[in-house]
Structure 1
Amino acid sequence: MKIAESERLVLREMTPDDVDRLLVIFSDPVAMEHYPSIKTKEETKEWINWTLGNYKEYGVGLWIVERKDGTFVGQCGIVPQTVDGTTQFEIGYLFVREHWRKGYATEAAGACKKYGLEEKGYEKLISLIAPENIASKKVALNIGMSFEKEIQKWDRKIEVYSVSIG
């Protein structure tokens, strides 16, 4: 099911048939540099099941991002994260390396921001970014987020970027 679209992209719900598409990203050590490790096919299936659970429980999750010609370029969406003991909603994104530096992450994240604030009515959205991940920081800044604070999560320092209504 289509969730959102932008000038060049469509964001749709993930399905079990997306395993091989996602493995293009998850098996790439460069694309996964800021994650604990690359993922196997079985771990990718678990990721999809986690995402499908988020759709049911929260009405949001990571979505498949495709160009309007159907080319898979990545995943982007809104996922629940615990920060300082409360559930907040994060715009997360991860793209196929050959599609980096084309503005797709910013375009998809912007569509997610609009969806979260306007369709879901969230008052605030965050992005959790490793301090050394300059490209992800640029995406957050480009969609109007600003640095909020640094936290400890996943056994490391993480920067919180956020955008709020009003």
Structure 2
Amino acid sequence: MKEMTILETERLILRKMNIQDEDHLMKIFSDPIAMQYYTSTKTREDARKWINWNIKNYEKHQSGLWICELKNTGTFVGQCGIVPQIVDGQEEMEIGYLFVRDYWGQGFATEAASAVRDYGWSKLGWSRLISMIYKYNTPSIKVAERIGMSMEKETNIKDRPTLIYSIYL
């Protein structure tokens, strides 16, 4: 395993992101279809802030969003990991995932999120994990359900109807 590798799945390597990943992230952030369930696409400056936020999360929480690459080619396919979020005034640890559109529908989000869930329990000791999903994001809801999460409540986050999915160890 490479130095920055966090974990491996059958088809993926998940590694820490760094400033050289800006172009990779822009494959997602600049795609209006990939970003349709977010408030907007993101700029390069947003991507740099995103990377720096994740680097801080690695230091503070030993987790963050990690770069997902195909094991056999090293091709960037997305990001998945565990990040802190505030939900109704409480800090929660969220499994998040966002993939390049060309790789949708191939099970990569489920494969990565499942591995990340297990990592959160076994390596980081969390007994509860959530996913915050925009109410109309059916593909993300399906991923959450496939990794064993169930809908806990609906709330508003950034003035958008958001479903909170959760799972307990």
Same-fold status (TM-score > 0.5): yes
Aligned to 2:126: 122
Which letter maps to 2:28?
I
Aligned to 1:92: 96
Cα distance in 2, alignment partners of residues 84 and 44 from structure 1 = 26
| Aligned-pair Cα RMSD in Å | 0.7
CA offset at residue 20 of structure 1? 0.2
Which letter maps to 2:49?
E
Query: Which residue of 149, 155, 160 maps to 1:151?
Result: 155
Q: Which runs of 5+ in 2 are unaligned?
A: none
The number of equivalent residue pairs is 165
Aligned to 1:162: 166
Q: Deviations over 1:44-79 (max 9, x none)?
A: 111101111111111110000011020110000000
Q: Percent identity?
A: 55
Secondary structure at 2:118 match in 1: helix
Query: Which residue of 29, 34, 40 maps to 2:37?
Result: 34
Write out aligned runs for 1:101-120 (5 A). 101-120=105-124
Write out aligned runs for 1:132-147 (5 A). 132-147=136-151
Secondary structure at 1:48 match in 2: helix
Q: Deviations over 1:72-110 (max 9, x none)?
A: 100000000111222110000000000000000000000
Cα distance in 2, alignment partners of residues 143 and 4 from structure 1 = 17
Secondary structure at 2:151 match in 1: strand
Say yes or no: does 1:58 pair with 2:56.
Answer: no
Q: Deviations over 1:13-54 (max 9, x none)?
A: 000000000000000000000111111111111110111111
Runs of 4+ in 1 over 4 A off after TM superposition: none
Cα distance in 2, alignment partners of residues 65 and 111 from structure 1 = 12
Q: Which runs of 5+ in 1 are unaligned?
A: none
Q: Which moved more, 1:8-17 or 1:80-89?
A: 80-89
Cα distance in 2, alignment partners of residues 67 and 125 from structure 1 = 25
Aligned to 1:24: 27
Aligned to 1:82: 86
